[in-house]
Structure 1
């Protein structure tokens, strides 16, 4: 076990083709989002480079980019650390998410077809199976796919672009409460599917708003 907290061999070595610094950035960002690298954790360039099978230079460049985007804190004379989000940061992000998701649900209720609703139902079934198996990583990924599909069914490109900008941070905040939200989250998804299938804009909006608010409240009440 290295000081970064990642088991030897847990991170696959990167393939060389393509812009290496971008691939390193994406790999580190995914490790942060999934909390394989936890908030506050010290990031040692040489150890991360060893995990990823690259030199320290692309790791250094990736950490600088992650710092600019607020995922990593670079502290003089101390090094790089995974950013620890404040309660205010989380609240602001999850509040914006509530607004975006509620509008997406309303629009989806006006235009979703049977094929789109079938996709939502299948994603929901997969999510329920993941929860039953206590597979948190898969449940988190399926939750993101479910909400992305609702955005797609909304048919508003600008709204979808805005949602995509916050999606990764939503996953970051959702991961530590995914197990706690558990089956209830997917029950709420089924309520949303029913409202969309009935083309009930008002109910879809209300269900979506309540659903995202439950996640926000659970995050603030989580065990630290």
Structure 2
């Protein structure tokens, strides 16, 4: 196999596994055995290992020395702690930035709400998460504290992975043209309305409620997972 062919197979394996994780075909904690992938895809282990490293860099799998690769499986305690810390940081950022938001900031948050609703209508979880991050990043961007903003962004990335694994995103079957605005976007617009009115206390209250309700929307069990050897059964 040429280097070009290896790179091509690496990308195929990476995309297949990533989509299987994002669309919840693989149960969290599933071991990604190189022998099964190699047999199903008819490739050597070199492109498989490269694909697994890429997924690990994105936080979607864990590479455990002497054990192998596993779809990440955060504990309920870990999820709760991440959201609790995120709430503390965002509330602090909102308080520090109070009175400093510009019309451009409000417009960015409004656009994020629009993009979030559109992404839900299209069942595009990555676009949804990007819009969600844009909204929350803007909330803390006026804090004037670069460390707070950086740490909030890191936690947004971490909790985005939890949403990919456990949120009811694909079970909602939203239709943007028929259904009402989803709860997350409604809550974002409610926070934005309070900020526009200059009511930081109300905005903070709604923000905390929104983040804590996000945790409640994560379901760590669901039916219909596939085994790794079933992913390419029609290939």
1:177 to 167, 187, 190: 167
Alignment partner of 1:72 is 2:62:
yes
Indicate if the aligned counterparts of 1:33 and 1:172 stay in contact, CA closer than 8 A: no
Partner SS, residue 69 of structure 2? strand
Partner SS, residue 111 of structure 1? coil
Indicate if the aligned counterparts of 1:109 and 1:204 stay in contact, CA closer than 8 A: no
1:163 to 137, 141, 152: 152
Q: CA, structure 1 residues 95+79, in 2 after alignment: closer, same or farther (shift >3 Å)?
A: same
Per the TM alignment, residue 109 of structure 1 is displaced from its structure 2 partner at its CA by 3.4
TM-score by length of 2: 0.67
RMSD: 3.9
Per the TM alignment, residue 88 of structure 1 is displaced from its structure 2 partner at its CA by 0.9
Question: 1:189 is matched with which residue?
Answer: 188
Tell which structure's C-alpha radius of gyration is larger: 2
2:98 to 91, 109, 131: 109
Structure 2 spans left out of the alignment, 5+ residues: 1-7, 175-180, 223-235
Structure with more of its chain in helix, by fraction:
1
Per the TM alignment, residue 116 of structure 1 is displaced from its structure 2 partner at its CA by 0.9
Alignment partner of 1:43 is 2:32:
yes
Question: 1:100 is matched with which residue?
Answer: 89
1:58-81 Cα offsets, whole Å, 9 max, x none, are 557668x76xx89515264x4221
Q: CA, structure 1 residues 192+60, in 2 after alignment: closer, same or farther (shift >3 Å)?
A: closer
Partner SS, residue 70 of structure 2? strand
Indicate if the aligned counterparts of 2:60 and 2:71 stay in contact, CA closer than 8 A: no
Partners of 1:197 and 1:32 in 2: CA distance: 41
Aligned pairs (5 A) from 1:120-131: 120-131=109-120
TM-score by length of 1: 0.70
Partners of 1:40 and 1:128 in 2: CA distance: 31
Structure 1 spans left out of the alignment, 5+ residues: 1-8, 14-23
